[in-house]
Structure formats: C-alpha cells, structure tokens
Amino acid sequence: MEGAVMMAQGKRCLLWGLVVATMLLSPTLALAKKKKKKTAEVATQMVVTVVPHSRNTAQIPTISSSNVKVEEDGKPTQVVGWKPITASDGTQLVILIDEDLWRSWLSLYFNDLNNFISQLPASTQVALGYMQYGSSVIVVGFTTDRATIAKVVHIPDEIPGSNVSPYFSLSDLVHHWPAGRPAAVRQVLMITDGADGYFTGQYDPEDPYVLAAIRDAQKQRVIVSSLFFRDFGDMGIFPSRGGDVYLFDVADGTGGKLYYSQIGNPITLTPFLNDYKKHLADTFVLTFLGHGSGLQNVKVLSDEPDIKLESPARVVVGQKILEPVATPPHKTKGAVGRRSSL
C-alpha cells in the first residue's frame, strides 16, 4: 500500500514537473518562433565595376543580372537590377594629393595627370584637393572645365607635418563632399604614400583611423582608389611603412583599385591612369534585396569566367545610388582636435 502511494506521488510530481517545464519553455519557444520570422526585404543599390581578368581584353563581355550573384553576410540574396552607368547618371571624381609629398618629384608627373583629366568623358565632374593637417582642402570644386583643373595643380607645399594622416583627410572629404550636380558614382583618387605616422608608423590591420575612413566611405558609397607614391623619390631604398598595404585595404573595402610600382616610383603614371580611366567607365548599378540594417557585409560574384566584379565589402542596406546623398555643411577647416594634439 505504501509503495502504491509513493508511486502515485511520483507520478504527480512528474506531471507537475512537465507542466512547469512547459510554462517555462513557452516564452522561449515563442521567442524562437519570432526570431524565425522572415525579415523585411529592402531594395539596396551599390556600384560595381567589371574588370576583365586579362589586361589585353579590349571589351568586357555582355553581362546580365542572371550572371551576377550577391551574398549578404554569407547568405545568397536576390538580384533585382543591373544597370550600366551612363553619361546621364553622372560621375564625380575627386583627385586628392598628399600635401606631405613635398620631397618627391611629383611635379614630373603633372603632364600625365593633366592628360588623364582632359581625356575623361565630358559628363565627368572633377574636383581637386590637397591633404593638409588632417583635412581635405578643395582648391577647385566639381567642374567639367578641364583647363581650370590644370591651372591649379601645383607642387605640394614644403610643410613638414602638414599631413597628420591621409585617412583623416579621406574621412574629412567623405563627410564634407563638395557640392556639384547629383551623380550616380562618387570616386576618389588619392596620390599618397599611405603611411599613417599618427598611429604606429608601421602597418597595423587594426589601425582605427584607416578602418574609420573605410567605414565612412562605405556609408557614403564613395569608391576610393590610390596611386601609391613614395615620398623619397624613385630609388626605392626606403621602407613604405605599410602605406601600400593600408591603401590596398581601403581600395578593397570600398571597391576601388591600388596602383603602385614594385621598386621606387614609376617613370610615368600614364599606364596606371589609362587603366583607371577604364575602371571609371565599366561601372554598373546593382540592386539587390537586403535583409539586415545599416552597414552589412556583401560579396558580389559572377559566373562569367573572363571577368571579376569589384565592389564595396560593405553597404548600407536600403541605400539608393541614383538619389543624391546628403552631406552636412563643412563648418570647420579640418580636424582641430587632432591638429592640436601634435
């Protein structure tokens, strides 16, 4: 009899245990179901450049949206638009020269630079600026008058320490983008040695100023390319201080390109600039359905064997390329706090 009572009590305890467990698990199960709920799909645009694997390829193959794949945070997402950039869409290009290159022979390359500018499509708006004390000093705003740009290109001033960090200047430019006609594509071509003497003087993949510049450019959908130019002439006997690797990180993160010579500075910039001119031309607006919010990791792929697609490593979900991106007015000249800490 006593054994039967104990068995009955055990069954009741087990039953109550199951009831309590069910009550405790109910909110967790409900939360899990809520998490499984499909997030809203948001049309998101980004600029993609088509690059042939071979430099000898005169013309890129025709690519349709079915040839393009997009992954957001490693998961496939739907491509809903693939449109080539045309003259009516417009391109803005800022050429940003490092003011700290005063010791180099940069003036020998001015003809190369002016020839490049003169050969750009008439619809391309060009602005010229210099990196100075952590800010971007724009000497000519966006214009299609190529002669105006040629008149103001000058040898960087002999101002030691004027370049606190090229990445301060890049962030400053991105945050205070010059006024001009709205354009689908925003490009920057930096001419610099890329060294960040403000941080460690050597390459560090966690350099906060480089990472901040990349993030700022991604948020404002600015594609950043660079001409790596050594500050000590063309002998190639001085270390780069990791500047070339920093510039590669910036180009890779924003969908741009890095141009550099293995030893010393190049004899001429013309081959680099000709390639960059093609880079500006072979651009497309890609629209996909994003699922996250804010900056999201993306990867763009193609099943075409003869080309590769260069694109930003992250984009803002919901961003629309063909609408002007608002930038705040430039109330101050450069990074005052950074300059005063020198």
Predicted confidence (pLDDT) at residue 53 exceeds the cutoff of 80: no
Three-state DSSP at 190 gives strand
In a domain, 277, yes or no: no
Q: How far apart are CA 264 and CA 256, in angstroms?
A: 22
Q: Rounded to an integer, what distance in angstroms lies between the CA atom of residue 302 and that of residue 65?
A: 9
Give CA–CA dist 297/182, Å, rounded. 26
- Mean confidence (pLDDT) of the chain: 80
Could you give the CA distance from residue 146 to residue 127 in angstroms, rounded to a whole number?
Answer: 10
Task: Kindly tell me the burial class for residue 325, based on how many C-beta atoms sit within 10 Å of its own C-beta (0-12, 13-18, 19 or more).
Answer: middle
Using CA atoms, how far residue 282 sits from 62, 98, 168, 287, 313, in Å, is 11, 27, 29, 16, 18
Nearest to 321 by CA among 286, 277, 271: 286
Is residue 152 domain-resident?
A: yes
pLDDT for residue 176: 94
Is residue 257 in a domain?
A: yes
State the Cα–Cα distance between residues 230 and 2, nearest whole angstrom.
94
Name the least confident of 4-18, 194-208, 323-337.
323-337
Is 235 contained in some domain? yes
**Is residue 40 in a domain?**
no
In angstroms, what is the C-alpha Rg of the chain? 26
State how far the alpha carbon of 192 is from the alpha carbons of 10, 63, 77, 147, 229, in Å: 79, 34, 37, 24, 5
Confidence at residue 70, expressed as pLDDT on a 0 to 100 scale: 96
* 58 is a domain residue: no
User: Strand pairing partners for 186?
Assistant: 92, 222
Number of domains in the chain: 1
Judge whether 39 lies within some domain: no
Which token pair is 145?
């008058």
Q: Cα(187)–Cα(223) distance, rounded to whole angstroms?
A: 5
Q: How confident is the model over 70-123, as pLDDT tens digits?
A: 999 999 999 999 999 998 899 999 999 988 775 556 778 888 999 999 999 999
Residue 136 is assigned to a structural domain of this protein: yes
Q: Cβ(186)–Cβ(220) under 8 Å? A: yes
The mean-pLDDT minimum among 61-70, 222-231, 236-245, 283-292 falls in 236-245
pLDDT bracket for residue 6 (50, 70, 90): very low
Integer angstrom CA distances of residue 73 from 171, 207, 294: 25, 23, 13
pLDDT in tens, 246-261: 999 999 999 999 998 8
The domain containing residue 229 runs over which residues?
91-271
Check residue 306 and give its pLDDT.
Answer: 84
- Neighbour-count burial of 86, counting CB atoms closer than 10 A to its CB (0-12 exposed, 13-18 middle, 19+ buried): exposed
> What CATH number corresponds to the domain at position 152?
3.40.50.410
* Average pLDDT score over residue span 308-324: 87
Return the exposure string of 87-126: e unless at least 16 CB atoms fall within 10 Å of the residue's CB, then b. Answer: eebbbbbbbbbbbbbbebebeebeebbbebbeebeeebbb
